[in-house]
Structure 1
Amino acid sequence: MRIRVINPNTTASMTTLIEASARAVAGPGVVVEGVTPAMGPASIESHYDEALSVPGLLAAIAAGERDGADGYVVACFGDPGLDAAREIAAGPVVGIAEAAMHAATLLGRGFSVVTTLARTRGRALDLAVRYAPAGACRGVWACDIPVLDLDRDPAALARVVAVARQALARDGSDVIVLGCAGMAAFCAQVSAELGVPVIDGVSAATLLVQSLITLGLRTSKRDEYAAPLPKTYIGPLTEFGIMRSC
């Protein structure tokens, strides 16, 4: 079984950290491959960044299809391009926000998300409406640390713990969801500090993809997630044109 964990930003050092988190939970015989797209932003911290990360993500999915990958993790908490990726992948594709929020609803009555910059809170709230029952997401809190500083700032872990502790107290939550793939390495330490379940979406998504593949399940191609209609794209998107198969 081959699972490709795609970091939608183009910072290779972050891909290395994400890949390590995924490999740590993968089962025997599962090959985890971290992928950094050939195009896109260095980090994803705005709607603009997220939109421009999608072409690189989709190109990485297409390459995985050519190489025989069995499934994919979209390793950005905004789950950019997730629906589009499902249209072109034969195997399951799971986003880390999707996996983390679903897992959180199995472990407690309510959860809080601790994310990076305050400007990303709205996206997390939008995804909570899609993925979780009404009222399950009790709040989204920002630690105000840029994505690329999570593994550079020696105070980052302490800041995440402090914000998560505040979220538990203010929201009355039972579970903390870490709202950035770059926080994956903090998961065990934050949980030990707080004494509650803390979910890293990279690990959760990796195991969910692994489980779906093991069960022989794939994304339905009956309607919405069928292959895109054949058409021509022009300009920088020429290579993304879909040709009708014979």
Structure 2
Amino acid sequence: MHKSRKDILLEYVQNVQPEFMELFIKRAPQQVVDAMRQTVTNMIGTLPPQFFAVTVTTVAENLAQLMYSVMMTGYMFRNVQHRLELQQSLEQAALPEPQEKKDVQDYAPGTQKKVTGEVIRWNNISGAEKIDAVKYIELLEAEIDELNRQVATKTANGHNELLEYLKSLEPQNLKELTSTAGEDVVLAMNTFIKRLLAVSDPSQMKTSVTETSTPELAKLLYWLMMVGYSIRNIEVRFDMERVLGTTPKLAELPPGENI
């Protein structure tokens, strides 16, 4: 008897372990991993734990709401990643076929190009002005170097295509990224939360106090985000295998070979 999507999701959240994070980091797209790290850092803060011992205290009900929100963020990241991959594929397909280059040589910068003559360029104040061609090439190369430096700096400072894409979306478009989450997904997420909290009674949820350090909370949120991402991944693979007429196998799903 074939397992339903609900059964597979529940089996996953009941068995997935923290060790899955190491596998996820190795095999998931790098921009997804970086986006998760940046998101958790923004939520927790950047105080170095070796100098600041910060403790977070809350009741189980509030923690459960945070956990659900973080899992849904991971779920959303999977949909964003799919959109970006599709967009990049379409852009790549639209590019013209590269022309075969003949007699292309690698030139050193500046005067070694053996260019002679002058170039006329327009100055917004003084009008047309002449400049030595070699000098003009050197100016252009300097501008290119500066642009490359700015791009490298932007990347080093945490530029992330996935997060930039999310920032560009309207609120309605953001909602669409989680609109695929049906009853099976919500049930799986709540089951995972109950498993971690070990508290399910509504009255206890309002009174049970949880206390943790920020590093431990950050690790928990990171794990939750990865599980949310994987829940969506399981959905996608389940639907794909159903269309292809093959039997979904939990061993082939996260934390299996493909993420």
TM-score (norm 1): 0.23
* More helix, by proportion: 2
TM-score (norm 2): 0.23
Higher strand share: 1
Q: Which has the larger radius of gyration?
A: 2
